[in-house]
Every structure is written in C-alpha cells, then in structure tokens.
C-alpha cells in the first residue's frame, strides 16, 4: 500500500509512472454524474462521438428530470472546460441574476431586519433569472459536436415513459413535504392523491417536462427567455403569494459569460477553478496556498495535527471570502491580492499549531476595496456536480444548482424555479459599511460552487473534480485535493474518505467515521466541534497514463461510467 501511494504521488508531480489503483479504468472517455440515468445519457453521447460538452448537456437534461431537488432548467450552472487542441481553460458563468428592479431591501422585513431564510426563499421573491440553458447552449456553440436537438432525446424519452423515483428523491420529497405541499403544482407532482409523498420505486412521468425539453431541443434555449414559457415563468413568480420582481425584460436580456479561470500553484501542479461570482475557486486556492507551507505528503491526513491545520486554513480563507468576494461585474474583487504568495505566507503564519482561532479576521490583501462589512454564508442545499472527459481529451467539470432543495418550490412547465437570490447577503450593510454581496439589480449572487481542474507541469489536465454541498463545497473540494495530491489516494478512495470541514465557524466532523473520534481532542485545542452526517456529492475523473479513473461520492447515488 505504501508503494502505491508513492507511485501515485510521483505521477501527479509529473513523472509518467503508472498510478496504482483498484478502480476501473476507461481508455476512451468517461462521465461521472450524480444519478445513474444522467451518467448513462452522457455516456451514450460520448459513444456517438460527442464532445465532453455534448455529454454534459445530455446529462444535465436528465438530472433536471430525475434529480429536480438539485438542478434543472430553472436554475444556474458554472463550469470549467479544457480544450485539448489549444490547451485553453474557460470558466463558463451561467449564474442566475437578480431582477433589474431588485434592491438592497429585497430581504428586509418592514422593521428593517433581515427575513428568515424560508420567509425569503419560498415562492417568487428569491427567484433569479435562470442561466443554465443559456450557458449550455453557448458552450455547445463553442465546443459541441453532436446536433443540439439530439442531446435532449434521453430526457424526453424518460419524461414520457416515466422513471423510477430513487431512494434519495423519495427521501428529499418526504423531508421537504411541508414546504412542497404549499404550492399546488408541486403538491400534484410530488405527492400521491392521498397527500403522501411518492415512495421509492414509483414510476413518475412528466409530460410537461418532455414538452419543454422538446421545445428547447427544437428552438434552442431562447424558449425559456422569450415567448410563452418565459411569460409563464414571469407569471408564476409575480403572482405567487410571496411575489418576486422578475420581468420579461429580465429574462430576454440575460447573458451567460465565458470568463478566465482563477489558477494557482500547489505542489508543482496548477489548480484552476471558477472565479467570481463564485467564491469557490479563490477560496480553494487560498486553502491550498496556506497548506502548502506544511509538508503533508506521507503524513496521516486524518490525524489530529492534519485536521487542525486543515480547519485553521479553511477558517482564514473563509474570513477573506466573506468580506471580499462578490460579483466582479459590480465590485472589484482582489483576486491577485488574495492569491499573492507573500500574502498567503503572512496568513499562514497566523496558524497556531496547538490552538484554534475560532473567529479569524479577514486579511488586508492588495487591491482590496476598503471599508466593507463581512456577510455570513446563507444555507445552500440544491446542487449537483458532473465531470466528463471525451475521446479527444477534452474535459469538463460542472456544478449546477437550484439553490435550496427544490429551489423556490414553484413548478411551471414541468420544471422547478430556483431561489438563488438567497445567496445574497440579506443585510446590505453592517455598522455603516456596505456588504460586497448585497442585492443589486442585475447582479449575480455569490456562490460556493468549485468545479476544479488540476494541470500537470506539462499544462495537461490530471484531475477534474467538484461537489455539491452549498457553502461546504469549498471544504469538500479542498480536502479531496489534499487527499489525492498529498495523500496519494485515487479518486474513489478520496471520495469515500471521511469529511472534515468548516465554513468559518464550528468544525464539522462526519459522524460514523474515524475522524469523529477527534472531537474531544479538537475541543481541547479550542475548536467548537459538531459531529454530524455529511451529504457531500463529489464526482471526479483522474487522467493517468493508464487511462481514466473515475470516482463518485458514495453518500449519494452517482456513478462513473466509461469505455
């Protein structure tokens, strides 16, 4: 076992040695997705000569049907793509936007205090302009090989013939039953006539979804942004009891964006992620930049010292995230300052190896806007992730979401609308200082989504990875990268391993795992500790000289499939 770890680490560091692994290896192409039916749809496109983007579009269309609590036509998506012909990495921004009429008081009660999460997030108030399909079509124009219309056929067939409700979907419906039942369309779809939630194994059909998917296939994403479907989205939002501000103009003027990724070094590799409005890429890179000051290779990554170091690095990075990161089209984000090696060295010196700092303050990087107030993270649950490598070596890693589980709980034309605006800070200012992530018309709310590509010294991808998990995504991805790069694990073993994370406050240890036994020792070092179940949803593909090695988080129902 020790030999296998060393060989894997040496390969990641650039030597073309074979990775030792017990995981299945594909030689042509691979997709890892959060539901088997979605992975099968993507694999079918790869087998027909489709690109990584083609496979992702087919998989996303199926996820919208079979995993509606996590993503869909009414949500938002971010992705990184690697083009093998040019070596270019692009960060695709299909994040939702606030309606033009939205202002800083959107989530303030009449007394001027922030609303409760579900007071704000259920119904139309928190619905942002969905960006997923605009982004996917823009990606297809750039990197698709198969016909757009063809990519939606698996989802259309499943919607019309019906698909079995999975254990996870059944559990999600039951858990969210009180909220879903408030909306007549959602109640009719997710519950039986007697009011009981659909049980596992129920064959669920959705003709309205099939009709929408067929319209998108025939006419393109524009059917969601202009015309009857768009008009019904607006009507659903504005006529809800908790009405939102979305207009036809908001939909018609939405644009997805191709942005440069944010990249930084780690152990001789280059790690690239999603920049603002996502905080994922910058914060993951900060955590790795802090950890690079410690020698972790060959050490027990689940030891007390290693876990303490990881948690302290995450707290420092989250403190910066909460103060500085927001939509860079509205506020200057000091990306270069936050990732500057000198700045990270100074921050790393704040870590006490024996004592926790439960509430570290943000640093003062170059290029930072002064006099900002930090915002607290909002709950995030409804997210999914997939990764693809095609037969030409193109890669894609994509995180997709409707924000909370089942989003706004508003169902129209067979799909759910997001409640993504709850990712904004509910309070626009604190102590007279503005919050960077405050609500503004046309602005994209800050995200934690962290699709990541790791490049070798030759500039070619070695790993594609990402996760669901709301604000915890950042910690999930950072820890998995450390396990793979420093610990020598293959992707599946890294995804199987125990989770440790913090979003800046309490340390969270995964219940029922070996790390849960560290709780008392961490408390003795000053950590506030919660031991709890973890619902991560990671997918990963490693690209090795021996082939493609996939991994899917066992805490969910995802799979990695390839040829």
Instruction: Give the residue numbers annotated as catalytic, written as ranges.
Output: 383
Residue from 253, 220, 279, 228 nearest 98 by CA: 253
Where helices occur in 341-498 by DSSP H, the ranges are 341-348, 473-485, 491-496
Q: Which residues of 526-557 are buried (b: 16+ CB within 10 A; e: fewer)?
A: ebebebeebebbbbbbbbbeebbbbbbbebbb
Are the C-beta atoms of 54 and 140 separated by less than 8 Å?
Answer: yes
Count the neighbouring beta carbons within 10 Å of the beta carbon of residue 252: 13
Residue from 353, 274, 365, 273 nearest 319 by CA: 365
Q: What is the DSSP letter of 499?
A: P
Dist. CA 344–CA 261, nearest whole Å: 19
Close Cβ partners of 422 (under 8 Å, ≥ 6 residues apart): 107, 117, 120, 121, 126, 378, 379, 403, 404, 445
Cα 55 from chain centroid? 18
Q: Which residues of 452-490 are buried (b: 16+ CB within 10 A; e: fewer)?
A: bbbbbeeeebbbbbbbbbbbbbbbbbbbbbbbbbbbbbb
> Residue 70 has which token pair?
């996590």
Positive or negative, the CA dihedral 404, 323, 467, 306 is negative
Q: How many helices (H) and strands (E) does the chain have?
A: 19, 24
Residue from 81, 98, 94, 95 nearest 135 by CA: 94
Tokens 């609308």 locate to: 417
> Residue 218 has which token pair?
């025939």
Cα 136 from chain centroid? 16
SS3 content of the chain, % helix, strand, coil (to 5): 35, 20, 45
> Residue 448 has which token pair?
């934690």
Cα 270 from chain centroid? 20
| Half-sphere exposure at residue 122, Cβ-oriented, CA atoms within 13 angstroms | 13
Are the C-beta atoms of 532 and 9 separated by less than 8 Å?
Answer: no
Are the C-beta atoms of 285 and 339 separated by less than 8 Å?
Answer: yes
Whole-number CA gyration radius for the chain: 22
Are the C-beta atoms of 486 and 301 separated by less than 8 Å?
Answer: yes
> Residue 379 has which token pair?
């709950």
> Residue 462 has which token pair?
């070695």
Task: Indicate left, alpha or beta for 523 from its phi (over 0: left) and psi (-120 to 50: alpha).
Answer: alpha
Dist. CA 67–CA 169, nearest whole Å: 7
């Amino acid at each position: 076992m020790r030999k296998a770890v060393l060989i894997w680490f040496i390969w990641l560091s650039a030597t073309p040695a074979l990775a030792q692994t017990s995981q299945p290896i594909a030689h042509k192409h691979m997709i890892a997705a959060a539901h088997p039916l979605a992975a099968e749809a993507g694999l079918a496109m790869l087998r027909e000569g489709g690109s990584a983007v083609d496979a992702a579009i087919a998989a996303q269309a199926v996820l919208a049907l079979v995993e509606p609590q996590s993503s869909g036509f009414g949500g938002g998506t971010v992705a990184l793509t690697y083009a093998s012909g040019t070596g270019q990495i692009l960060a695709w921004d299909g994040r939702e936007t606030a309606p033009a009429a939205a202002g800083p008081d959107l989530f303030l009660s009449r007394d001027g205090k922030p609303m409760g999460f579900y007071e704000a997030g259920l119904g139309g108030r928190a619905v942002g302009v969905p960006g997923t399909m605009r982004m996917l079509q823009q990606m297809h124009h750039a990197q698709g090989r198969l016909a757009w219309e063809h990519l939606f056929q698996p989802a259309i067939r499943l919607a019309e013939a019906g698909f079995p409700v999975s254990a996870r979907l059944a559990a999600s419906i039951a858990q969210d039953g009180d909220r879903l039942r408030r909306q007549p369309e959602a109640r009719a779809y997710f519950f039986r006539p007697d009011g009981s939630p659909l049980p596992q194994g129920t064959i669920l059909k959705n003709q309205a979804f099939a009709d929408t998917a067929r319209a998108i296939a025939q006419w393109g994403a524009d059917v969601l942004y202009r015309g009857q479907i768009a008009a019904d989205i607006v009507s659903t939002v504005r006529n809800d009891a908790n009405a939102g501000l979305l207009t036809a103009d908001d939909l018609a003027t939405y644009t997805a964006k191709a942005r440069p990724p944010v990249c930084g070094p780690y152990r001789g590799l280059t790690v690239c992620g999603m920049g603002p409005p996502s905080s994922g890429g910058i914060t993951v890179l900060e955590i790795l930049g802090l950890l690079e000051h410690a020698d972790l290779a060959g050490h027990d990554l689940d030891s007390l010292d290693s876990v303490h170091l990881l948690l302290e690095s995450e707290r420092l990075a989250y403190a910066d995230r909460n103060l500085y990161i927001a939509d860079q089209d509205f506020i200057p984000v000091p990306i270069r300052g936050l990732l500057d090696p000198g700045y990270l060295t100074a921050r790393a010196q704040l870590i006490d190896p024996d004592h926790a700092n439960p509430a570290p303050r943000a640093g003062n990087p170059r290029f930072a806007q002064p006099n900002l107030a930090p915002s607290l993270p909002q709950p995030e649950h409804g997210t999914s992730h997939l990764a693809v490598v095609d037969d030409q070596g193109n890669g894609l890693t994509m995180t997709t979401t409707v924000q909370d589980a089942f989003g706004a709980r508003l169902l129209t034309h067979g799909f759910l609308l997001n409640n993504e605006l709850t990712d904004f800070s509910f309070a626009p200012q604190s102590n007279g200082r503005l919050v960077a992530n405050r609500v503004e018309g046309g602005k994209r709310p800050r995200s934690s989504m962290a699709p990541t590509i790791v490049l070798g010294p030759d500039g070619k991808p070695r790993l594609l990875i990402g996760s669901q998990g709301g604000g915890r995504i950042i910690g999930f991805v950072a820890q998995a990268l450390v396990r793979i790069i420093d610990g020598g694990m293959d992707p599946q073993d890294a995804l199987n391993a125990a989770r440790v994370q913090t979003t800046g406050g309490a340390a969270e240890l995964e219940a029922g795992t070996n790390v849960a036994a560290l709780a008392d020792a961490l408390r003795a070092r000053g950590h506030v500790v919660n031991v709890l179940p973890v619902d991560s949803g990671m997918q990963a593909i490693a690209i090795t000289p021996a082939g493609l090695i996939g991994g899917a988080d066992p805490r969910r129902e995802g799979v990695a499939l390839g040829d």
